[in-house]
């Protein structure tokens, strides 16, 4: 009984090691893969806006740009790219969604504070 249990344990451990090595050396997409870069930027934007993917994307067809929030987001992405580019602020300071939105889907204008 002990030998049978040990054989099962050895077989399970061997399978785990094999799977670990097989997945470690498998071809993985690089950080320069456009799909991965786009997904990472979408996750970052969603977190900065405090929304989920379906706020801008139609769950039935993610590539469709029929939703108003999707077209507004595209325009805002162009504006931030311009601001961070050579013709805008040249990335100093770096502008992103959080600069205006502060974790809210609709940015709230800050109230002016009285200066002394």
- Read off the pLDDT of residues 59-109 as tens digits, 9 standing for 90 and up: 898 888 889 999 999 999 999 988 888 888 877 888 899 988 989 999 887
Q: Identify the weakest region by mean pLDDT among 19-23, 32-36, 41-45.
A: 19-23
pTM confidence score: 0.60
CB atoms within 10 A of CB 78: 10
φ and ψ of 90, to 5 deg: 60, 30
Q: 99: which 2 tokens?
A: 């600069």
The answer to whether 55 and 49 are in contact (CB under 8 A) is yes
| Neighbour count for residue 88 (Cβ, 10 Å) | 14
């Amino acid at each position: 009984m002990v030998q049978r249990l040990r054989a099962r344990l050895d077989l399970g451990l061997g399978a785990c090691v094999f799977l670990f090595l097989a997945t470690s050396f498998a071809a993985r997409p690089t950080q320069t893969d456009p799909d991965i870069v786009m997904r990472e930027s979408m996750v970052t934007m969603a977190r900065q806006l405090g929304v989920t993917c379906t706020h801008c994307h139609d769950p039935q067809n993610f590539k469709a740009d029929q939703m108003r929030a999707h077209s507004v987001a595209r325009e805002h992405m162009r504006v931030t790219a311009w601001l961070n580019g050579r013709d805008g602020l040249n990335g100093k300071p770096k502008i992103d969604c959080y600069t205006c939105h502060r974790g809210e889907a609709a940015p709230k204008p800050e109230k002016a504070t009285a200066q002394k």
